[in-house]
Amino acid sequence: MSRVLGGTLERVCKAVLLLCLLHFLVAVILYFDVYAQHLAFFSRFSARGPTRALHPAASSSTNCSRPNATAPSSGLPEVPSVRPGPTAPVLPPCPDSPPGLVGRLLIEFTSPMPLERVQRENPGVLLGGRYTPPDCTPAQTVAVIIPFRHREHHLRYWLHYLHPILRRQRLRYGIYVINQHGEDTFNRAKLLNVGFLEALKEDAAYDCFIFSDVDLVPMDDRNLYRCGDQPRHFAIAMDKFGFRLPYAGYFGGVSGLSKAQFLRINGFPNEYWGWGGEDDDIFNRISLTGMKISRPDIRIGRYRMIKHDRDKHNEPNPQRFTKIQNTKLTMKRDGIGSVRYQVLEVSRQPLFTNITVDIGRPPSWPPRG
């Protein structure tokens, strides 16, 4: 009996011993497995430290152990890659016929027109009177040039009507008011030459120039302020002329020329002091260079003029008729290449850029009669 119990006890002890040995082996295996994982984890950080440069081979083997890792070819520190930022969306070209045009407009000059109101009406216009359509890319960059002196009342109405019109026409544009300093005789064409040069100084991308009197407002927004293959006369039907051209060669009020066309005629004449004559000289220059004037349909080329008293310093030039007859002789020496002036102030207002200039004084004219 005792022998049987002793044999049983011996087998139990052997079984317990085998279980203990098995437990020990499992513990050892788990220990080395965890140790290996910890070693691999810390080796990642050591590979980024100074030892990487000292031991490039070891560093390479460590990096290649990670998924999608690449081994550097030298021991130099790895330059972090730069992720490309979001690119601006490519806008489509602006349509030739903008879809938001209204057509015939009701133009009146009786309501009060403070500049603060005009500014609220045009929140998309940037400082200096610059605007770019947010939803398309215009084919041209347009500078609108206004010869100016003592017409603040007219300018407010002009800005009130023209900014919305130009925005609906999907134009990229800037407004430049060229203010003649002093009280000497007014010189419209010379101020337009100044505006051409000063606008290009601010933005060399201007390739279309619209020259507009401050007292003329278009009555139809389908009269697109763009430049074409030929010089453009926009104001072909003013109310003061009974909505028709006063004569066939009339080129006054509002006109447009591309940069190349303007330079081809040597700009505008600088010697027309006082009212009248410069627009006829410009017409002659265009004809002499072989270009032809394009005009809109008379139904959309109507303009309303803001009434005003004539400036006593803008009396008719008594020599204008003689000058007009000599355009062929004078256009090469008198123009954009010979204009002289001094910029006194450049002020970028919320709705326009004001450039005050000294353009000199007119020559003394012989007494009439």
- Marked catalytic residue, from 207, 239, 275, 313: 275
Q: Residue 199: count other Cβ atoms within 10 Å of its Cβ.
A: 23
Q: Is 232 labeled as catalytic in the residue annotation? A: no
- Marked catalytic residue, from 38, 299, 308, 333: 308
- Marked catalytic residue, from 213, 221, 271, 280: 213
Measured between alpha carbons, how far is 181 from 82 in angstroms, rounded to an integer? 54
Q: Is 310 labeled as catalytic in the residue annotation? A: yes
R_g of the chain computed on alpha carbons: 40
- Marked catalytic residue, from 305, 320, 331, 334: 305
Q: Is 33 labeled as catalytic in the residue annotation? A: no
- Marked catalytic residue, from 130, 170, 215, 220: 215
Q: Is 278 labeled as catalytic in the residue annotation? A: yes
* Maximum Cα interatomic distance, the chain, rounded to a whole number of Å: 164
User: Bridge partners of 275?
Assistant: 316
Structure tokens at 296: 């809109």
CB 342 within 8 A of CB 181: no
User: Bridge partners of 237?
Assistant: 302
Q: Is 311 labeled as catalytic in the residue annotation? A: no
Q: Which residues contact 38 (CB under 8 A, 6 or more apart)?
A: none
- Marked catalytic residue, from 220, 279, 280, 334: 279
What is the sign of the dihedral through the CA atoms of 184, 188, 189 and 191? positive
Measured between alpha carbons, how far is 42 from 132 in angstroms, rounded to an integer? 56
Q: Is 279 labeled as catalytic in the residue annotation? A: yes
- Marked catalytic residue, from 3, 83, 120, 310: 310
- Marked catalytic residue, from 198, 220, 271, 278: 278
Measured between alpha carbons, how far is 330 from 323 in angstroms, rounded to an integer? 8
Q: Alpha helices, DSSP H only, in the chain?
A: 2-48, 51-54, 56-63, 115-121, 152-168, 188-202, 259-264, 278-288, 320-325, 327-330
Place of tokens 């005003």: 308
Catalytic residues: 213, 215, 275, 278-279, 305, 308, 310
